[in-house]
Amino acid sequence: MSGLRPLSTAFHAAARDRLRARAEAAGLDGLLLLRAPNLAYATGLFLSANERPMGLWLPVAGEPVLMLPELERENSEAAGIAQARFYGEFPGEVPPVLWMLDEIGPRALAIDSLDAALLDAARARTARLALTDHAMAERALKQPEERALTAEAAAFADLFLQRLHAAAGDIVAQGGTEADLMADAMAHARGALFARHGEAFAGTPMGITASVHSGPRAALPHGAVLPRVPRPGETLIAGIGASLGGYHAESGVTLVIGGIDADQRAIMTAMQACNDAAVAACAAGRTCAEVNDAALGALRQAGLGEAIRHRIGHGMGLQGHEAPWLAPGDDTPVRPGMIFSNEPGVYRPGRDGYRTINTMIIAADGVHVPSRFQAETPIDARVVAL
């Protein structure tokens, strides 16, 4: 049995205190949180995100108030928040978000998400309305409990890759397809995840997502998994996401069917240099945009600039993709507590594609990489033996 458990009510209470401090510093009376990940962060409630708005009014002074559709009344009790108010149904005679603002009264507040069609009516109901996601800014800096969940999730993303590496040769030799490869490794990794954590984490998001694609279609960064048999000499890209207690991690690798040739080895070596440059730039506390430039610069130096199709990485936490972004245009300084993917990619349309993925946890003493498959499987070992 693992000692890990879902985040506690004390964690969420402390998160609410940090959010109150952000609101007070911004000169606000409080925050209205509507985005599902923000609600989960502040309350521990992982409710189904659908057309019915769900909210938390978090005043700087006073007790928080859950504002939910009537059908979530019983589920709301799990948050341990004493005050809750409920509306009947969506869309309602008064849109639910405007109902929430009526319940709050004319305060100076920030709201994390708002339909543009409601903007004028929302402004009329508030003393001051800021369209600012303060919760996302706070969520970017993960607490130790959050980092532990991400690190554990990364181990199960790695487990998928370990199974794929070990079993793919036999499966392909018997005529197995990309879909067969994914199904086998998925059953292995998901089964292990639920066997270890299923009881303790019941009721929280937990699972494995994956893609496995090969040959010329590996040149598509978001290729679909097809009933296609990988062929000798082709690359096989596997990108894996795993989540535990709502927190996400990623691992990924490029394998080669049969054996690696000199051209493939050169590309995979350049991708390792790209990965390492991202780690070094994060450790140095560069801005997110500078990390992206440093990492992709290694690919450009290797003559692979025209094969770049995407940024080096993205934030991870309660969402698989969340701010900040290791990409052009994001000048956020990298700070301890942040978690990112590190995704070198080389794509040659009509020919082949390559991508690796590591999870990076930024700490005061450097960058921790809980994704271990690449470190434990050198480039020349990334072969699917037939």
pLDDT tens series, the chain, 386 aa: 468 999 999 999 999 999 999 999 999 999 999 999 999 999 999 998 899 999 999 999 999 999 999 999 999 998 999 999 999 999 999 999 999 999 999 999 999 999 999 999 999 999 999 999 999 999 999 999 999 999 999 999 999 999 999 999 999 999 999 999 999 999 999 999 999 999 999 999 999 999 999 999 999 998 889 999 999 999 999 999 999 999 999 999 999 999 999 999 999 999 999 999 999 999 999 999 999 999 999 999 999 999 999 999 999 999 999 999 999 999 999 999 999 999 999 999 999 999 999 999 999 999 999 999 999 999 999 999 99
Residue 249 lies in a domain: yes
pLDDT value of residue 224: 85
Residue 359 lies in a domain: yes
Residue 294 near residue 277 (C-beta atoms within 8 A): yes
Interacting residues of 98 by C-beta distance below 8 A, sequence separation 6+:
118, 121, 122, 125
Tokens 């499966």, residue? 171
Strands (E), the chain: 30-33, 55-59, 65-69, 83-87, 108-111, 128-130, 207-214, 235-244, 247-257, 313-315, 322-326, 339-342, 345-348, 352-355, 358-363, 366-368, 383-384
Same domain, 158 and 283: yes
- Amino acid found at 309: R
Q: Which token pair is 312?
A: 């080096």
Helix (H, G, I), strand (E, B) or coil at 124: helix
CATH number of the domain bearing residue 78: 3.40.350.10
Radius of gyration of the chain (CA): 23
For residue 118, give Cα distances in angstroms to 37, 97, 103, 114.
21, 8, 16, 7
- What count of other Cβ atoms lies within 10 Å of the Cβ of residue 142? 22
Same domain, 20 and 167: no
Residue that is last in its domain, among 78, 112, 139: 139
pTM of the predicted structure, to 2 decimals: 0.96
DSSP per-residue string spanning 254-302: EEEES---HHHHHHHHHHHHHHHHHHHHHHTT-BHHHHHHHHHHHHHHT
Residue 287 lies in a domain: yes
**Count of the separate structural domains present in the chain:** 2
Same domain, 193 and 320: yes
Residue 15 lies in a domain: yes
pLDDT value of residue 223: 81
Same domain, 230 and 325: yes
Residue 57 near residue 30 (C-beta atoms within 8 A): yes
Same domain, 159 and 85: no
Residue 1 lies in a domain: no
Same domain, 219 and 244: yes
pLDDT value of residue 2: 64
Same domain, 228 and 371: yes
Residue 220 near residue 347 (C-beta atoms within 8 A): yes
Same domain, 316 and 180: yes
Domain span at 198: 144-384
Residue that is last in its domain, among 139, 170, 187: 139
Residue 2 lies in a domain: no
Same domain, 207 and 192: yes
Residue 333 near residue 287 (C-beta atoms within 8 A): yes
Strands (E), 2-92: 30-33, 55-59, 65-69, 83-87
Same domain, 132 and 151: no
Residue 212 near residue 180 (C-beta atoms within 8 A): no
Residue 55 near residue 28 (C-beta atoms within 8 A): no
Residue 285 to residue 366: CA distance in whole angstroms: 9
Residue 55 near residue 67 (C-beta atoms within 8 A): yes
CATH number of the domain bearing residue 244: 3.90.230.10
